[in-house]
Structure 1
Amino acid sequence: MDKDTEQSYLGKGWSFPPVFDRHRREVNMVMDEKDIEQSLNILLSTRPGERVMQPSFGCNLDIMLFEPITTSLITFVKDLIKKSILFYEARIDANKIEINVENIESGLILIEIDYTIRSTNSRFNFVYPFYTEEGVNQGIILRNSGFDR
């Protein structure tokens, strides 16, 4: 079975952002841990109401844009993220969610999610950069924490 037709136990989906292969005339696909990573990116960057067929899908992180960063807001946002993951990313358990505001002066808030993939019991750390100002060189950081099985 070649890589294009192989089945994935964690899922298979379009790459995000979508990349189209002109020669094969199809969209590039991602599988397994990469699919979960990109699903988390989509979940955290989608506002509820943006998807017509799933109007409650997403995580409303935009509430942080004009609010002062307080302990109450951070606790609220952590709960918002945890609930979004619980409802829309059933393949993982969120172990710990941290909001890093060390670079708030430059308009950057890092959302660090330590999670375990349920079916493999592998732990990963996902860092989502949330920009309160126009972002440059945006990227996602995913690290395997080394606590597999």
Structure 2
Amino acid sequence: MNTDTFLGEGWSFPPHFDKKTNQLVTTAGIADINKSLEILLSTRLGERIMRPDYGCNLEELLFQPLDVTLKTYIKELIETSILYYEPRIDTQSITLDTTNELNGEILIKIEYIVRITNSRANMVFPFYKNEGTEA
């Protein structure tokens, strides 16, 4: 059994087509898991009509003071979202790199184990205030 296929294959996001083959571009394996995590972390609650409880709602925290309480809350929010919406992995750790916080950026590093293969992987999600983001 091909591990990448078992882990899942999905549309690339945003969806697009390969001009040479005229085929839909897809992702599989660890890349698919990382893309799924990226989508989960960047989705607001209520944004998906058929799944109003899907998402992480990190954007509501953009202008909060970055203290220990908020850092703990962000980690808990992410861990809970992954627990409910990414069943292919077990989260090992979530760390926040705040070295660039004065520029409005936090790097969220998620280390996880893929359940079916017991292999370790990680992804880094840049969480920051976009220029177009309203207060």
Residue 25 of structure 2 is matched in structure 1 by: 28
After superposition, the C-alpha distances for 1:6-33 in whole angstroms (9 at most, x for unaligned) are: x811001001222213454432111111
After superposition, the C-alpha distances for 1:95-143 in whole angstroms (9 at most, x for unaligned) are: 10011111011121100101000000111121000112439xxxxxxxx
After superposition, the C-alpha distances for 1:69-91 in whole angstroms (9 at most, x for unaligned) are: 01001101100000000000000
1:16 aligns with 2:13: yes
1:65 aligns with 2:62: yes
Contact 1:109 1:132 in 2 (8 A): no
Residues in 1 aligned to 2:130 and 2:34: alpha-carbon distance in whole angstroms: 24
Residues in 1 aligned to 2:114 and 2:131: alpha-carbon distance in whole angstroms: 32
Residue 125 of structure 2 is matched in structure 1 by: 128
Residue 49 of structure 1 is matched in structure 2 by: 46
Tell me the secondary structure at the aligned position of residue 83 of structure 2.
helix
Identify the structure with the greater helix proportion: 2
Tell me the secondary structure at the aligned position of residue 116 of structure 2.
coil
RMSD of aligned alpha carbons: 1.6
1:40 aligns with 2:37: yes
RCO comparison, higher one (Cα < 8 Å, 6+): 2
Identical pairs, percent: 50
Runs of 4+ more than 6 Å apart: none
Normalising by structure 2, what TM-score? 0.89
1:92 aligns with 2:83: no
The one-letter code sitting in structure 2 at the alignment partner of 1:101 is T
Contact 1:10 1:32 in 2 (8 A): yes
1:75 aligns with 2:72: yes
Between the two proteins, the alignment pairs up a number of residues equal to 129
